[in-house]
Amino acid sequence: MSTSKRVVPFFNYPHVYKQYENEINKAINNVCNRGAFILQKDLEEFEENLANYTGAKYAIGVANGTDALIIANRAAGISEGDEVIFSSHTYIATAASIYFAGGIPVPVECQEDHMISPESVRKAITSKTKAIMPTQLNGRTCDMDSLNKIAEENGLHIIEDAAQGLGSKFNGKQAGTFGLAGTISFYPAKNLGSFGDGGAILTSDLAMYEKMMQLRDHGRNKDGLVVTWGLNSRLDNLQAAILNLKLAYYKNEIERRREIASIYQTNLGSITEIKLPPSPNSDTIHFDVFQNYEIEAERRDELKKYLFERGIGTIIQWAGKTVHQFKDLKFNVSLPFTENMIAKSLMLPMNTSLTDEDVLYVCEIVNSFYNN
Ligand SMILES: Cc1ncc(COP(=O)(O)O)c(C=O)c1O
């Protein structure tokens, strides 16, 4: 039974539109009146703006973040029998993209901050390893110094799954710009969300750029001639126009998320039964954008229920199983650190529709759960 009238949903989908309603309506009208739906100037402008924002030389708009990964793998030459190492604490799409390129997905452990463990990566390298695919999870960038070093020493590519990482930084450099390619998702609940599916690939390598431009458009070159097998995976021009508009406000969105994380940190930091993500100002190496606020909690399922009964929505990432734990996929590996982490993992509300009062209410209820 709810003890309060306040409701704090985990995510507020209508807010994604309401927030910029008038400008979005204008942008949609403009695109529709021009009849500019596929591969038009809004997409080109968005690609240029996204490249400028991230610091990548090129950005390519594609249909979704999963296709972005598949295309990046294919362009990087991942093929039959090639092993690609990734953190099991990621969305299934990371592993599926390796599988669909013909490769073998090799899951490894995450570490205390929930990002891929470089030590675990090193141990998983074999003569068949071709690439490391770090997920820039929850709006945080992995320890890219260590990963780059491992990649260089072993002649491996880095392909970043930065679906959740747009704008996050490691040593001042943005997620998605470290490897041969980095991919972004614009799924509506992402920090930069489109009104449907959408994705992008970042690269600073001209040959990769040219290959990926062909792969997303039926394998066609600039003259429309087919030069390879390709997909139909273009970011819709309408989505690009909306994303262009939202990208202009992106810095403010990130700042608000970081403020919310600070409120959580201040008000939950002393509860010994929970472990919070690194605070927004915990070091000068990471700049986190808090796509999610993933805590580890003792008595996690009870806490989730307690919050739900008091109007607060929470989510357990990946329905409570990391990639190697999905039995039907037949991974034969045990990753105790990751398994222990996901058994405690819980995501608290984190989005820009939240008021300070909403966040404080969540904190009050979490405190009351552990103080009772
Ligand atoms: C870590 C990660 N990788 C890949 C994806 C796939 O992106 P999309 O849903 O746009 O295909 C997502 C998004 O859901 C994600 O969170």
- How far does the centroid of ligand 1 lie from the alpha carbon of residue 161, in Å? 8
The Cα 57–Cα 157 span in angstroms is 18
Is this model's pTM higher than 0.75 or not?
yes
CB atoms near residue 149 (< 10 Å): 13
Cβ–ligand 1 distance for 247 under 6 Å, the answer no
At 64-75, the pLDDT tens digits run 999 999 999 999
Instruction: Give the 3-state secondary structure of residue 329.
Output: helix
Look up residue 276 and give its two tokens: 């919070």
Of the candidates 335, 310, 308, the residue with the CA atom closest to the CA atom of residue 324: 335
Q: Which pLDDT does position 2 carry in this prediction?
A: 46
Ligand 1 centroid distance, CA of 65 (Å): 5
Mean pLDDT of 240-252: 98
| Ligand 1 and 209: CB distance under 6 A | no
pLDDT of residue 44: 98
166-183 pLDDT, tens digit per residue, is 999 999 999 999 999 999
> Are 111 and 142 within 8 A, CB to CB?
no
Alpha-carbon distance of 24 to 120, in angstroms, equals 45
> Could you tell me the end-to-end alpha-carbon distance of the chain, in angstroms, rounded to an integer?
17
List the residue whose alpha carbon is closest to atom 1 of ligand 1.
91
Q: Quick check: 364 pLDDT over 90?
A: yes
Q: How far is the CA of 95 from the centre of ligand 1 (A)?
A: 11
Question: Ligand 1: does its nearest atom lie under 6 Å from the Cβ of 86?
Answer: no
Average pLDDT (234-259) is 98
- Mean pLDDT (the chain) is 97
Question: In DSSP terms, which residues pair with 293 in a beta bridge?
Answer: 348
Q: ∠ CA 192-313-2 to the nearest 5 degrees?
A: 150
How far apart CA 215 and CA 72 sit, in angstroms, is: 9
How distant, in Å, are the alpha carbons of 100, 203, 223, 317 from that of 342? 26, 32, 49, 8
Q: Can you tell me which atom of ligand 1 is nearest the CA of 198?
A: 10
Query: Is the sign of the CA dihedral 365, 350, 189, 321 positive or negative?
Result: negative
What kind and span of H or E run contains 216?
Answer: none
Distance CA 166, CA 46 (A): 14
**Residue 68 alpha carbon to ligand 1 centre in Å:** 9
Domains, the chain, ordered by start: 17-247 (3.40.640.10), 251-371 (3.90.1150.10)
H/E segment holding residue 121: helix 118-124
What is the distance between the alpha carbons of residues 137 and 148, in angstroms, rounded to a whole number?
17
In this predicted structure, what is the pLDDT of residue 372?
Answer: 81
Q: What is the pLDDT of residues 103-156, one digit of tens each?
A: 999 999 999 999 999 999 999 999 999 999 999 999 999 999 999 999 999 999
Nearest to 90 by CA among 282, 324, 252: 324
